[in-house]
A = this chain, B = another copy of it.
Amino acid sequence: MRNIKLTIEYDGKDYNGWQKQPNKLNIQGEIERAIFNILHEEIELIGSGRTDAGVHALGQVANFKTNSNFPIEKLPLAINSQLKNSIVIKEAEEVDERFHSRYNAKHKTYRYIINNSKTGTAIYRNLEYCYPFKIDVEKMKQAAVFFEGEHDFKAFKSSGTSGKNSVRTIYKAEVRQEGEKIIIELTGNGFLYNMVRIISGTLLDVGIGKIEPNEIPKIILEKNRQKAGKTLPAHGLYLVSVLYN
């Protein structure tokens, strides 16, 4: 069987997240339906991971197996013709039979965008989280560095999710300002449930002086969700890319 890897962009606004679920519009299900329309074959689309309702992706990765010999270079436009414009297959590639988009993912990069104008933004209202009060970006940059490395990120996952191992490695944690936008970018070997949104909320708390940058190591060590910041809303979050070996 052929194994096909897709790179996918989507606007999360109108979807109840990546994962297939009955009676709720979801991205996985929409793409499976579109592929069925093209290949006339029921496939199982394996994503690199779920994204929550409202979260966007610039480069989600998923794979599926098929017996079809549909030409790979024509596949993206063919599938896109069966999708709403809010989901776009950017690339399709034939990969080794053993490739698994979840198990083989090495790095993931997420981005969180805060719009820090006093009034908010009209054009990007569904693509950025508006926070109108004064933010000290330099402090956020200082704090971000403390997230880098291998840590138990138990304080930065939503409570209620099943326990197991909450140790992850963040290779890069960066904060930058572009005009009204404050952009948080995290690259790691994996992320816990809501981890990027909670780290972003914690960095925002640093930016507004609620937490000092050098308190971050202690918050990590204490492993107490209550000491970290709020979970920021979904519509500011982007899955940017998933890297494989």
Contacts and interface: CB of A to CB of B under 8 A. Distances in A.
B119 A88 contact: yes
A1 interface: no
Contacts of A118: 76-77
A117 B76 CA distance: 12
Interface residues of A, number: 24
Contacts of A80: 119-120
Nearest to A58: B123
Contact of A86 (B10, B56, B58, B122): B122
B119 A76 contact: yes
A85 interface: yes
Interface in A102-155: 117-123, 125, 127
Which of A10, A76, A91, A123 has the most CB atoms of chain B within a 10 A radius of its CB?
A123
Interface of A: 9-11, 56, 58, 76-77, 80, 85-91, 117-123, 125, 127
Considering the complex of A and B, which 10 residue pairs feature the smallest CB-CB distances, nearest first? A88-B122, A9-B122, A11-B123, A85-B125, A11-B122, A10-B122, A88-B119, A90-B119, A86-B122, A76-B119
19 contacts: A9-B122, A10-B123, A11-B125, A56-B123, A58-B123, A76-B119, A77-B118, A77-B119, A80-B119, A85-B120, A85-B122, A85-B125, A86-B122, A88-B119, A88-B120, A88-B121, A90-B117, A91-B119, A123-B127
